[in-house]
């Protein structure tokens, strides 16, 4: 159970890194996580990437402008549980679609 909690806590960090542009979505890779979880992190991170003229704005709470690092910190500190919720929903959606195919 402790290991599962550790991975779950890292998912929000991964999403925030992809969303803030610290890691490109297509470059994000993790050998430990399942393929569908990696795809979910990429999808959620790409959806939350809201950049205008190099400044980031949060689509969740409409705050900004942020730098890359500032947006990363904003997401991990203020929207941590919501990021986990989004990843869980995206994983469920991916699994449902893959079962239907």
Owning domain of residue 90 = 2-100
Report the pLDDT value the prediction gives residue 8, as an integer from 0 to 100.
Answer: 78
Q: Which residues are CB-neighbours of 65 under 8 A, at least 6 positions away?
A: 52, 55, 56, 57
Count of structural domains, the chain:
1
What confidence category does residue 49 fall into, taking pLDDT thresholds of 50, 70 and 90? very high
Exposure b/e, 30-44, CB count within 10 A at least 16 = b: eeebeebbbbbbbbb
> Is the pTM for the entire model greater than 0.95?
no
Please give the mean pLDDT across all residues of the chain: 89
CA 66/CA 62 separation, integer angstroms? 11
Distance, CA of 25 to CA of 90 (rounded, Å): 15
């Amino acid at each position: 159970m402790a290991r599962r909690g550790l991975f779950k806590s890292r998912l929000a960090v991964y999403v925030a890194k992809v969303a803030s542009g610290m890691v490109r979505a297509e470059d994000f890779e993790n050998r430990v996580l399942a393929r569908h979880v990696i795809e979910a992190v990429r999808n959620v991170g790409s959806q939350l990437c809201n950049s205008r003229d190099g400044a980031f704005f949060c689509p969740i709470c409409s705050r900004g402008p942020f730098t890359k690092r500032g947006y990363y910190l904003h997401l991990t500190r203020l929207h941590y549980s919501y990021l986990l919720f989004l990843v869980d929903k995206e994983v469920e959606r991916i699994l449902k679609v893959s079962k239907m195919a």
